[in-house]
Amino acid sequence: MTDAAPWRRSAHDGPDSPYRDAGPVADGPASYRTLTYEVDGRVARLTFDRPEQGNSITPDTPVELADAVERADLDPRVHVIVLSGRGKGFCGGYDLAASAEHLMDGQLAGDATPAGTVLDPTVQMHNHDPAGTWDPMVDYAMMSRFTRGFASLLHANKPTVASIHGFCVAGGTDIALHCDQIVIAADAKIGYPPTRVWGVPSAGLWAHRLGDQRAKRLLLTGDTLSGREAVEWGLAIDAPEPEDLAERTEALVQRIAAMPLNQLIMVKLALNSALLAQGVENSRMISTVFDGISRHTREGYAFQQRAAEAGFRQAVRERDASPYDDGGPATSNVTHRDKE
């Protein structure tokens, strides 16, 4: 910032700054497996970096995301945090190809999964055995840690912005809806199709973001919105054409970044107080429990078994067949506009 006005100074500039003795902050370890981290001026840029897998969620994702958000939140240089994805889309949800196909063979470990804990895939494998007794709290203890990592975006002191292109579906929405602002390409696809079988959105944020009827319209059908519709429905703040997404996101981010850091924190905390008073934490807890239940019903077991036999993609094709007929890149099945 070159403006001479004292309220435009960076938080760490000047002898009267409480951060005046702060040394340079490292831009992040190269050991992140699911995302990259960089600081550019007043902006921390977090980018999901598993493009060949659609940036699907692994056990490492919530841990690394929370670590990167905390790193940015503690850095006095950073005023705003931007989250995006490389490749064809923002995030395709949980790595269900691995989860559904390999849940019973213990192949789901993350980089540093503690053996014998609820994060150990062997523990979850035993708990998912249809012939055994399912302990819902073992499931909840695991899934709540995923959601807690995503919720770092909401609970960070600094504002967070999601920039969405291509697709943001299933568990990807558990991440994006925790951001303070969503900018989405007009032709992108956003929604939670797994409510048709084997899933409930654990973030519990849909009704808080959309209101009761519109949230139910999506989640009682598993239907999705295009980016244009997401803005019309109030789920996103802007829906530029895909070629303009980066420019429009950057324009918003730089306007936010120009604000004094303490002002940003106060405004976000004040507005979050209203959101949290609506019961977001309670919604998240209930939704996470129901997400576990949905994977342990007769239908949930049948879906997992079908994925193990025929492959996850085939099981999804069957899930999204008639009367839905909306698999793949179709961007709307609410108004039937913008379909490809």
Segments making up each domain of the chain, as ranges: 25-319
For residue 241, give the nearest of 331, 176, 173, 333 by alpha carbon: 331
Contact predicate 283/208, CB 8 Å: yes
What's CA 172's distance to the chain center, in Å? 4
Which of the four pLDDT bands, split at 50, 70 and 90, describes residue 14? confident
Per-residue confidence (pLDDT) for residue 106, from 0 to 100: 46
Give dist(CA 77, CA 158) in Å, integer.
11
pTM for this model (two decimals): 0.93
- What's the pLDDT tens digit per position in 290-337? 999 999 999 999 999 999 999 999 999 999 999 999 988 877 888 766
Give dist(CA 203, CA 291) in Å, integer.
10
For residue 157, give the nearest of 39, 264, 62 by alpha carbon: 264
Peptide bond into 323 cis (omega under 30): yes
Q: State the architecture of 25-319 in CATH terms.
A: Alpha-Beta Complex (3.90)
- Residue 229, phi then psi, degrees to nearest 5: -70, -35
- What's the pLDDT tens digit per position in 37-94? 999 999 999 999 999 999 999 999 999 999 999 999 999 999 999 999 999 999 999 9
